A and B are shown apart, each in its own frame.
Chain A
Amino acid sequence: MISDRADGSVEEIARRPGHRLVVAEPLALDSGATLGPVTIAYQTYGTLNADKSNAILICHALTGDQYPAEPHPVTGKPGWWSTLAGPGKVLDTDRYFLIATNVLGGCMGSSGPKETDPATGKPWGLSFPVITIADMVRAQKRLIDHLGIETLFAVIGGSMGGMQVLEWAASHPERVFAAVPIATAARHSAQNIAFHEVGRQAIMADPDWCQGNYLAQGRNPARGLAVARMAAHITYLSEPALHRKFGRQLRNREAVTYGFDADFEVESYLRHQGSSFVDRFDANSYLYITRACDYFDLAAEHGGALANAFRGTRTRFCVISFTSDWLYPTSENRAIVHALNAAAANVSFVEVETDKGHDAFLLDEPEFFATLRGFLDGCAQHRGLASR
């Protein structure tokens, strides 16, 4: 049923690093639809030990991918967690076996709206079924089963990655020794949904979106996707960080131009963020993945009480939040901690002082790194993993 296949048929994709797993057995999704065969694009770093006890699953955020620890194959930029993952780093590839997947619905090789629907031979577009965070985890579990890993040493991720961590810990507690949800929430708030809706509307308002059918028509809703990215990017930064970086500085000019060109540095910065994003991301994927976040409500999946999601768990948790993160603020992370306390779970919780906003989980934050390293070292000792 399960087979590894060489990288895809398109040459450009074939050259990309990493692996693909194609699972023939259809996946039953939360929506009621089934999806199959399912492709899971993934990458690994380090070596799986003999008893397969040193595997860490890294879950990526909204626009992340399976390349946390190596240059992005499209943009060439450093991996999104290259400060954290690598030889001798906190997620030490000399010690741990790191697994990163591209989420279901993504656009870096896993099954998603950009890929070809085997039934029609055309890109899925909006006929791709709507997926949830739990569906992403279902797909990842297929991979972990395939790799023969009984218990993951740790599942770790920030933002939407943290939601996958929570979902893993809630649905497969016996397979997760340690869980590290970072800068995340157990449910999307009205504000979170609202910002995502702005992004989706920007994409769908772009005439090049073609009701989601742009790939078949050879078009690309780049302007809509860029605006979506610009709006979202503001939510990743704190007001003080934006002010420190840009203030009211003008862009290569002495005075304002009384027009709508990018007079201000911050405008130019956002335009750059938007236009560079469209080179590496698919607009429909953006719709599907933001929707998955919006639908996430772990308490609702467990009778309305978040603590029920973790009842009887033996997983060791470390929840980390950042003081200036207003997208997934400390209060949301603390709600997870309280639920874990109510379930008598083993939990650590650190709020890291920083003015870098939500983005802090992707940046070099010494307190964050030291906390995570200490937590993982402690867990490794309990797990009986040899220290380096």
Chain B
Amino acid sequence: MSAATAGTGRIDAGAAAARPLRGDLALVADLIEPGSRVLDVGCGEGELLDYLTRVKGVDGRGIELSQSGVNACVRHGLSVIQGDADSDLGAYPPDSFDYVVLSQTLQATRQPRAVIEHLLRIGRRAIVSFPNFGHWRVRLHLLVRGRMPVAHHFNHDWYDTPNIHLCTVRDFVALTAALGVTIEKSVTLDHAGRPFSLDPRGELANLLAAQGLFMLSRRRD
């Protein structure tokens, strides 16, 4: 990459910002207030951070496990460190961010409960999205074929999947109750990442949702 192309990339910021975000990321972006401080845990190649920085003027930071992802982010001027949710959240002080985003990453952490506690320690709010293992197709697959589902968001065989802590939307809601955290907003999404208006706490949502998206905050005593 030459300096010239790097420069062009920045001049094209408007064009990049105009590119629509992946469905669930657009919903995450909608939840975030302009000018806030955001930590994106598992930020991939920085799609969301880039959008938030350019369009919403946030002070954005990221954590990403893959070297290629981190390098892509830093190359584009984003502040991202190589690390993971299990080992690298502990270093951040309390209340260092307005929002901490964990998008499609919770199921790949070793200690999901501890991770969520960290998210709400270092951020005023946590925005968490994850694939719903309670979706009817998953259930049907297991019921009919008797094999672990290998479809859509679970595109791995059981023995090599990074998704070691899959849960259903109702499991997640139960965990938030156990942790005593407040669900400020919740959205369920279909396979195309479109939201639909069902109460995420209900059995129907748990059956129909491909993904759950929650904004959490610490319970105010």
Q: Are B92 and A374 in contact (CB under 8 A)?
A: no
Q: Is B204 an interface residue (CB 8 A)?
A: no
Q: Are A375 and B91 in contact (CB under 8 A)?
A: no
Count of chain B residues near A, Cβ 8 A: 28
The one of B3, B74, B93 that contacts A350, using a Cβ cutoff of 8 Å: B74
Q: Is B48 an interface residue (CB 8 A)?
A: no
Q: Are B92 and A341 in contact (CB under 8 A)?
A: yes
- Distance in angstroms between the alpha carbons of A351 and B77 in the assembled complex: 16
- Residues of chain A within 8 A (CB-CB) of B67 are 350-353, 367
A binding-site residues for B, Cβ under 8 Å = 88, 92, 95, 316, 318-319, 334, 337-339, 341-342, 344, 346-353, 367, 370-371, 373-375, 377-379, 381, 387-388
- Residues of chain B within 8 A (CB-CB) of A346 are 61, 79
- Return the chain A residue nearest B6 by Cβ: A377
- Given contacts A348-B81, A377-B7, whether A371 and B96 have CB atoms under 8 Å apart is no
Pull 24 A–B residue pairs with CB atoms less than 8 Å apart, ordered by A.
A337-B81, A341-B92, A344-B96, A346-B61, A347-B79, A349-B81, A349-B82, A349-B83, A350-B67, A350-B71, A367-B71, A370-B71, A371-B71, A371-B74, A371-B75, A373-B6, A373-B75, A374-B74, A374-B75, A375-B77, A377-B3, A377-B7, A377-B10, A378-B76
With A346-B79, A348-B80, A349-B70 given, name 7 new contacts (CB 8 A).
Answer: A337-B91, A341-B91, A367-B71, A374-B76, A375-B74, A375-B75, A388-B3
- Distance in angstroms between the alpha carbons of A67 and B189 in the assembled complex: 59
- Return the chain A residue nearest B9 by Cβ: A377
Question: Contact string, B52-90, partner A, CB cutoff 8 A, digits 1/0?
Answer: 000000000100000100110111111111110000100
Q: Are A350 and B10 in contact (CB under 8 A)?
A: no
Minimum C-beta distance from B45 to chain A (A): 12
Q: Are A318 and B91 in contact (CB under 8 A)?
A: no
- Residues of chain B within 8 A (CB-CB) of A88 are 2-3
Q: Is B1 an interface residue (CB 8 A)?
A: yes
- Distance in angstroms between the alpha carbons of A339 and B92 in the assembled complex: 9
- Distance in angstroms between the alpha carbons of A95 and B4 in the assembled complex: 12
- Residues of chain A within 8 A (CB-CB) of B88 are 338, 341
- Given contacts A349-B70, A350-B74, whether A374 and B6 have CB atoms under 8 Å apart is yes
- Residues of chain B within 8 A (CB-CB) of A344 are 92-93, 96
- Distance in angstroms between the alpha carbons of A205 and B69 in the assembled complex: 50
- Distance in angstroms between the alpha carbons of A338 and B89 in the assembled complex: 9
